Amino acid sequence: MPYIKYEIRERYDKSINNLIKIFKDQNSDKYSLDLDRKTDGEMNYIITRLLDETYSNLGYSEYNRAVGVLECVKLELYRRRIAVYEDIKKNMQGDVYKNA
């Protein structure tokens, strides 16, 4: 769950905002809904580096926790962004489920 206390967020936000700026500046010519595979690769690189430095050379339980973190990030992205998008499209184009 990404909802940490504001005082904890403050420790990270300057660095995260700087990273976001670098990422957007690096990809400014393609930073739109049409993000290409290179951008996906760059995002993968950033996330991989963070995980590798945080969960490097540890045992199974720590690696399992890392996978759990990724799963929760995925689920929260889906819940907050993708499900909303899907609902908009369902309302625009009609529901597929007949008994919903």
26-43 average pLDDT score: 67
Query: Model's pTM, two decimal places?
Result: 0.78
Residue 37's pLDDT is what?
59
How much of the chain exceeds pLDDT 70, in percent?
87
Q: Tell the burial category of 51 from Cβ atoms under 10 Å away from its Cβ (0-12, 13-18, 19+).
A: middle
Q: What are the tens digits of pLDDT across the range 66-98?
A: 999 999 999 999 999 999 999 999 999 999 998
The two tokens of residue 54 are 């945080």
Q: Amino acid identity, residue 52?
A: D
In the block, which residue shows the tokens 């049409």?
Answer: 34
Which pLDDT score is estimated for 32? 54
Q: What is the CA radius of gyration of the chain?
A: 18
